[in-house]
Protein backbone atom coordinates (compact mmCIF):
# COMPACT_ATOMS: atom_id res chain seq x y z
CA UNK A 1 0.00 0.00 0.00
CA UNK A 2 1.13 3.59 -0.44
CA UNK A 3 1.57 4.09 3.33
CA UNK A 4 4.57 1.72 3.41
CA UNK A 5 7.06 4.49 2.66
CA UNK A 6 5.85 6.82 5.43
CA UNK A 7 7.86 6.78 8.64
CA UNK A 8 5.68 5.92 11.67
CA UNK A 9 4.88 8.88 13.92
CA UNK A 10 2.86 9.42 17.06
CA UNK A 11 1.02 12.70 17.49
CA UNK A 12 -1.79 14.06 19.62
CA UNK A 13 -4.59 16.31 18.49
CA UNK A 14 -6.73 18.72 20.47
CA UNK A 15 -10.07 17.32 21.62
CA UNK A 16 -12.90 18.63 19.46
CA UNK A 17 -16.00 19.79 21.24
CA UNK A 18 -16.86 20.31 24.86
CA UNK A 19 -17.40 16.69 25.84
CA UNK A 20 -21.15 17.23 26.29
CA UNK A 21 -22.38 17.74 22.74
CA UNK A 22 -21.73 15.44 19.83
CA UNK A 23 -19.37 16.42 17.05
CA UNK A 24 -20.68 15.45 13.60
CA UNK A 25 -18.23 14.12 11.01
CA UNK A 26 -18.92 15.57 7.54
CA UNK A 27 -17.28 13.34 4.93
CA UNK A 28 -17.42 15.26 1.65
CA UNK A 29 -16.65 13.19 -1.44
CA UNK A 30 -14.94 15.38 -4.05
CA UNK A 31 -13.70 14.96 -7.60
CA UNK A 32 -10.98 17.39 -8.72
CA UNK A 33 -12.18 20.23 -6.54
CA UNK A 34 -15.89 19.57 -7.02
CA UNK A 35 -17.88 18.33 -4.01
CA UNK A 36 -20.35 15.61 -4.97
CA UNK A 37 -21.99 14.28 -1.81
CA UNK A 38 -21.76 14.31 1.97
CA UNK A 39 -21.90 11.44 4.42
CA UNK A 40 -22.58 12.45 7.99
CA UNK A 41 -21.46 10.23 10.85
CA UNK A 42 -22.91 10.56 14.31
CA UNK A 43 -23.41 8.52 17.49
CA UNK A 44 -20.09 6.80 16.83
CA UNK A 45 -18.96 4.20 19.34
CA UNK A 46 -17.11 0.90 19.25
CA UNK A 47 -20.25 -0.98 18.17
CA UNK A 48 -22.32 1.28 15.92
CA UNK A 49 -22.38 4.42 13.83
CA UNK A 50 -25.31 6.38 12.38
CA UNK A 51 -24.91 7.39 8.74
CA UNK A 52 -26.75 9.71 6.42
CA UNK A 53 -25.99 10.51 2.79
CA UNK A 54 -26.85 13.95 1.43
CA UNK A 55 -26.53 15.55 -1.98
CA UNK A 56 -25.36 19.14 -2.42
CA UNK A 57 -28.94 20.39 -1.96
CA UNK A 58 -28.97 18.66 1.46
CA UNK A 59 -31.50 16.08 0.33
CA UNK A 60 -31.15 12.73 2.12
CA UNK A 61 -30.52 9.59 0.05
CA UNK A 62 -30.90 6.51 2.26
CA UNK A 63 -31.59 4.40 -0.84
CA UNK A 64 -27.85 4.42 -1.58
CA UNK A 65 -26.77 3.23 1.89
CA UNK A 66 -26.19 -0.39 2.89
CA UNK A 67 -27.13 -0.65 6.55
CA UNK A 68 -26.17 -3.38 9.02
CA UNK A 69 -26.34 -4.05 12.75
CA UNK A 70 -23.29 -1.76 13.08
CA UNK A 71 -24.10 0.81 10.39
CA UNK A 72 -27.42 2.38 11.28
CA UNK A 73 -29.52 4.92 9.41
CA UNK A 74 -29.24 8.37 10.94
CA UNK A 75 -32.80 9.29 9.98
CA UNK A 76 -32.09 11.82 7.25
CA UNK A 77 -33.26 14.65 9.50
CA UNK A 78 -29.96 16.29 10.41
CA UNK A 79 -30.24 20.06 10.05
CA UNK A 80 -28.17 21.56 7.28
CA UNK A 81 -25.21 23.27 8.97
CA UNK A 82 -25.33 27.07 8.99
CA UNK A 83 -21.85 27.09 7.44
CA UNK A 84 -22.73 24.53 4.75
CA UNK A 85 -21.64 26.71 1.83
CA UNK A 86 -18.30 27.35 3.54
CA UNK A 87 -17.89 23.58 4.20
CA UNK A 88 -18.27 22.97 0.47
CA UNK A 89 -15.87 25.81 -0.33
CA UNK A 90 -13.21 24.42 2.02
CA UNK A 91 -13.67 20.91 0.60
CA UNK A 92 -13.38 22.29 -2.93
CA UNK A 93 -10.11 24.07 -2.17
CA UNK A 94 -8.59 21.07 -0.39
CA UNK A 95 -9.60 18.61 -3.11
CA UNK A 96 -8.43 20.66 -6.10
CA UNK A 97 -6.06 18.66 -8.31
CA UNK A 98 -7.02 15.25 -6.92
CA UNK A 99 -9.10 13.00 -9.21
CA UNK A 100 -10.92 11.68 -6.12
CA UNK A 101 -10.62 12.40 -2.41
CA UNK A 102 -12.85 12.41 0.64
CA UNK A 103 -12.49 15.57 2.73
CA UNK A 104 -13.44 15.07 6.39
CA UNK A 105 -14.51 18.22 8.23
CA UNK A 106 -16.14 19.04 11.56
CA UNK A 107 -18.04 22.06 12.82
CA UNK A 108 -17.29 22.97 16.43
CA UNK A 109 -18.73 26.13 17.91
CA UNK A 110 -19.47 27.44 14.42
CA UNK A 111 -15.84 26.95 13.40
CA UNK A 112 -14.84 24.49 10.64
CA UNK A 113 -12.13 22.04 11.70
CA UNK A 114 -10.10 19.87 9.32
CA UNK A 115 -10.11 16.12 9.88
CA UNK A 116 -8.28 14.41 7.04
CA UNK A 117 -8.04 13.78 3.32
CA UNK A 118 -8.83 10.15 2.51
CA UNK A 119 -7.73 8.80 -0.85
CA UNK A 120 -8.86 5.18 -0.46
CA UNK A 121 -11.97 5.04 1.72
CA UNK A 122 -12.34 1.60 3.24
CA UNK A 123 -9.36 0.46 1.19
CA UNK A 124 -11.56 0.94 -1.87
CA UNK A 125 -14.17 -1.47 -0.46
CA UNK A 126 -16.97 0.90 0.53
CA UNK A 127 -19.54 -1.69 1.54
CA UNK A 128 -21.74 1.01 3.08
CA UNK A 129 -22.82 2.16 -0.41
CA UNK A 130 -25.01 0.28 -2.87
CA UNK A 131 -23.43 -0.99 -6.09
CA UNK A 132 -25.45 1.56 -8.08
CA UNK A 133 -24.03 4.40 -6.01
CA UNK A 134 -20.49 3.07 -6.33
CA UNK A 135 -20.94 3.08 -10.11
CA UNK A 136 -22.14 6.69 -9.92
CA UNK A 137 -19.07 7.64 -7.86
CA UNK A 138 -16.90 5.94 -10.46
CA UNK A 139 -18.52 8.01 -13.21
CA UNK A 140 -17.46 11.18 -11.39
CA UNK A 141 -13.78 10.22 -11.30
CA UNK A 142 -11.74 11.31 -14.31
CA UNK A 143 -8.21 9.94 -14.13
CA UNK A 144 -5.36 11.77 -15.83
CA UNK A 145 -3.82 10.23 -18.92
CA UNK A 146 -0.13 9.52 -18.45
CA UNK A 147 2.05 12.07 -20.19
CA UNK A 148 -0.77 14.59 -20.64
CA UNK A 149 -1.56 17.57 -18.49
CA UNK A 150 -4.71 19.61 -18.12
CA UNK A 151 -5.27 22.57 -20.34
pLDDT at 147: 65
CA triple 129-53-80, angle to 5 deg: 170
For the stretch 22-78, pLDDT in tens is 789 999 999 999 999 999 999 888 899 899 999 999 999 999 999 899 988 889 999
Query: 113 CB contacts (<8 Å, ≥6 apart)?
Result: 16, 105, 106, 107
pTM of this structure: 0.85
Domain locations in the chain as residue ranges: 25-140
pLDDT at 115: 92
pLDDT at 150: 60
Q: How far apart are CA 141 and CA 70, in angstroms?
A: 29
Percentage of the chain beyond pLDDT 70 is: 87
For the stretch 89-103, pLDDT in tens is 999 999 999 999 999
Q: What is the CATH number of domain 25-140?
A: 3.30.470
Amino acid sequence: MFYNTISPKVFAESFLGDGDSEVIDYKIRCFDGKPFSIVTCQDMNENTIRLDLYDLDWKSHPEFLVLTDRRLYGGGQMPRPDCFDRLLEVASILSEGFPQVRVDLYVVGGKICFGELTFSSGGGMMSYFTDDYLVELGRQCVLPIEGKTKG
